[in-house]
């Protein structure tokens, strides 16, 4: 085992597992899947909240009226729509149906959320770092000039940081503490050119591209240093194109230079949000782990979602998986040794860690996931939570700040509750372990409301059986 990897020791690291119990609040009681399960057929997954959040904020600043069909019924999107009301953006309700937004182009001195007084408008984005970053840039360069905004959230967002974005916004940031939220932002005139140095997230690039695109005329964004999870920038460019904005880019000695031509123009047709590839990866994994065949309709090979790479990763693990123009499908148990680079798609690490664990029990000597450097700063320290969960159930796991390495070990067979730290993606991943081993439940199962409120019901409809 490589010297820079640290093996998780249950006596030292105190893995977050606890004896099975049933709290009084049944809705929030630990839940889990039974290994006597076959998930098969079409699985309904939510539409993409990553796409939805982008196009909703673009609609708020476009010329004309934007219409949206099939918005995801997730907490992140609901919180963003609530922010729209504070910003005085006309948006009807009706999740998950059609939503109509009357755009408010950022024309000085007007813009988003003008009140004409010195009171700060409070925008609570919940736990969504995507919304926090996008709105910070949007009101900083597209809010009413001189208007003060306070962007805040709850839970894990209070631990998130985005200092490169705050620095790029310059005088628009009134008070940012140590580069996180809450933050006070003052509406300012958008510059013709901005520089973002060493971004800590692709969301920072997306936020600035979107804010500049709302302005009329040509603007430039210089990005120095690598962009983490760069595939998500492609989603932003696709969304901007839908609103009539063309973005060109060129490689420079320092990084990238983007040229953005605004303003934003509302599409003529209603935008239909496609299924979420991250949720689809969980569903496909459930099919492969349980001996079923799972199909995701409405999401095909032409999607710009980076997490569509789950198909090639499943193939590498020995599963049967393919992407058609209109659907994804996967079956077959994972069994192959892999070394996967997830630098552009770290959100795939949670389900892939479980698939790798299954592969090692099927004969693979060792499986490694790398390129995970952004995971410790998410809703939980995901590398650590995954490592502890797997170690608790008997796998030999080594981890560092960028990778997980998994080997088979002696299975622990007594019932346990694995701690998820209230992280929706940890609920998905650790609950999938119940398809491999009896008696596995997860804490805080209700955390799925952040991105996939129907997770438990949707997999049950496809054949997943819950523990009794």
Largest CA distance in the chain: 67
In a domain, 93, yes or no: yes
Question: 241, 272, 303: which is the final residue of a domain?
Answer: 272
Question: For residue range 436-452, what is the model confidence (pLDDT) as tens digits?
Answer: 999 999 999 999 999 99
Of the CA atoms within 13 Å of residue 114, those in its CB half-sphere come to: 14
The C-alpha angle 327, 333, 335, rounded to 5 degrees, equals 125
Residues 102 and 224 in one domain: yes
Based on the fold, state whether residues 223 and 333 are members of the same structural domain. no
Spatial contact of 312 and 273, defined as CB atoms under 8 Å apart: no
pLDDT at 26 over 80: no
CA distance 168 to 232: 20
Residue of 270, 267, 213, 259 lying closest to 236 (CA atoms)? 213
Residue 346, phi then psi, degrees to nearest 5: -65, -20
Q: Higher model confidence: residue 447 or residue 231? A: 447
Closest alpha carbon to 212 in 187, 241, 190: 190
Shared domain for 205 and 153, answered yes or no, is yes
Lowest mean pLDDT among 14-23, 67-76, 246-255, 337-346: 14-23
pLDDT number for residue 27: 61
Strand order in the sheet with 271-272: 90-91, 99-102, 65-69, 271-272
pLDDT-derived band of residue 24, with 50, 70 and 90 as boundaries? very low
Distance CA 289, CA 433 (A): 9
Tell whether 283 and 380 lie within a shared domain.
yes
Do 446 and 383 lie in one domain? The reply is yes
Residue 196, domain member (yes or no): yes
As a whole number, mean pLDDT of residues 375-401 equals 92
Let me know if residue 468 belongs to a domain.
Answer: no
Helices 202-213, 231-242: crossing angle, 10 deg rounding: 20
For 168-205, the pLDDT digits (tens) are 999 999 988 788 999 999 999 999 999 999 999 999 99
pLDDT of 12: 41
Residues 298 and 447 in one domain: yes
Asked if residue 241 belongs to a domain, the reply is: yes
Q: What is the pLDDT of residue 234?
A: 93
Q: What is the Cα–Cα distance from 101 to 99, expressed in whole angstroms?
A: 7
Mean pLDDT (the chain) is 90
Whole-angstrom CA distances from 282 to 79, 268, 326, 464 are 24, 34, 18, 13
Average pLDDT score over residue span 221-238: 92
Q: What is the mean pLDDT of residues 401-427?
A: 93
Residue whose structure tokens are 């009134």: 174
| Average pLDDT estimate for 253-263 | 95
Nearest 5°: CA angle at 440, between 42 and 365?
85
- Tell me the average pLDDT across 330-335: 98
pLDDT at 3 over 70: no
**Per-residue pLDDT for 94 more than 70?**
no
CATH number where 437 lies:
3.65.10.10
What is the percent of the chain with per-residue pLDDT over 90, rounded to a whole number? 79
- Residue 466, in any domain of the structure: no
Q: Is 303 in the same domain as 420? A: yes
In a shared domain, residues 37 and 85: no
Reference 446, options 143, 140, 27; nearest CA is 27
| Pair (32, 75) in one structural domain | no
Residue 30 DSSP SS3 = coil
Residue 255 lies in a domain: yes
Which residue reads 């997490």 in tokens? 307
Of 243, 272, 301, which marks where a domain is finished?
Answer: 272
In terms of domains, do 266 and 308 share one? no
Q: What is the extent of the structural domain holding 173?
A: 49-272
Q: What's the CA gap between 11 and 20, in Å, rounded?
A: 20
Global confidence as pTM: 0.89
Domain boundary, last residue among 272, 291, 306: 272
Least confident of 48-52, 154-158, 288-292, 318-322: 154-158
Q: Is the pLDDT at 5 greater than 70, yes or no?
A: no
Say how many domains are in the chain.
2
For residues 37 and 61, state if they share a domain. no
Reply yes or no on whether the pLDDT at 250 is more than 50: yes
Q: How far is CA 239 from CA 114, 209, 346, in A?
A: 26, 11, 21
Whole-angstrom Cα distance, residue 183 to residue 206?
19
Q: Are residues 268 and 406 in the same domain?
A: no
Whether 290 is in a domain gets the answer yes
Is 1 among the domain residues?
no
Residue 97 has pLDDT above 70, yes or no: no
Q: What is the pLDDT of residues 107-155, one digit of tens each?
A: 877 888 876 667 899 999 999 999 999 999 999 999 999 999 999 999 8
Report how far apart, in Å, the C-alpha atoms of 300 and of each of 92, 295, 305, 324, 454 are. 30, 11, 10, 5, 22
């Amino acid at each position: 085992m490589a010297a820079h990897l640290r093996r998780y020791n249950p006596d030292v690291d105190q893995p977050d597992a606890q004896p099975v119990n049933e709290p009084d609040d049944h809705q929030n009681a630990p839940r889990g899947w039974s290994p006597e399960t076959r998930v098969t057929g079409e699985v309904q997954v939510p539409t993409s909240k990553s796409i939805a959040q982008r196009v909703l904020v673009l609609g708020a600043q476009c010329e004309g009226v934007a219409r949206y069909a099939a918005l995801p019924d997730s907490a992140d999107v609901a919180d963003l729509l609530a922010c729209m009301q504070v910003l005085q953006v006309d948006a009807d309700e009706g999740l998950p149906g059609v939503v109509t937004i009357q755009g408010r182009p950022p024309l000085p001195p007007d813009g988003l959320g003008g009140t004409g007084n010195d009171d700060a408008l409070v925008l609570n984005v919940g736990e969504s770092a995507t919304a926090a970053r996008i709105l910070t840039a949007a009101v900083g360069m597209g809010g009413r000039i001189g208007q003060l905004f306070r962007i805040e959230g709850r839970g894990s967002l209070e631990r998130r940081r985005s200092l490169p974005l705050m620095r790029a916004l310059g005088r628009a940031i009134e008070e940012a503490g140590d580069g996180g939220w809450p933050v006070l932002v003052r509406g300012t005139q958008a510059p013709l050119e901005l520089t973002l140095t060493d971004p800590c997230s692709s969301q920072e690039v997306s936020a600035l591209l979107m804010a500049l695109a709302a302005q009329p005329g040509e603007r430039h964004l210089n990005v120095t240093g690598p962009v983490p999870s760069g595939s998500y920038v492609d989603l932003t460019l696709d969304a901007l194109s839908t609103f009539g904005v063309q973005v060109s880019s060129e490689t420079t000695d320092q990084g990238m230079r983007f040229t953005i031509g605004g303003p934003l123009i509302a599409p003529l047709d209603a935008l239909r949000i496609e299924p979420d590839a991250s949720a689809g990866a969980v569903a496909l994994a459930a099919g492969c782990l349980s001996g079923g065949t799972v199909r995701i309709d409405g999401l095909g090979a032409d999607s710009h979602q980076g997490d569509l790479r789950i198909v090639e990763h499943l193939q590498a693990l020995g599963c049967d998986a393919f992407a058609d123009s209109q659907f994804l499908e996967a079956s077959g148990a994972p069994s192959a040794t892999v070394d996967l680079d997830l630098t552009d798609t770290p959100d795939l690490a949670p389900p892939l860690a479980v698939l790798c664990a299954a592969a090692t029990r099927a004969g693979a000597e060792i499986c490694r996931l790398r390129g995970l450097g952004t995971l410790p700063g998410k809703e939980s320290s995901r590398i650590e939570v995954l490592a502890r969960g797997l170690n608790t159930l008997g796998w030999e796991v080594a981890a560092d700040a960028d990778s997980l390495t998994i080997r088979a070990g002696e299975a622990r067979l007594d019932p346990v509750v694995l701690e998820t730290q209230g992280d929706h993606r940890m609920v998905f991943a650790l609950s999938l372990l119940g398809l491999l081993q009896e008696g596995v439940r997860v804490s805080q199962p209700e955390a799925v409301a952040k991105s996939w409120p129907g997770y438990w019901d949707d997999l049950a409809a496809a054949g997943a059986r819950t523990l009794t």
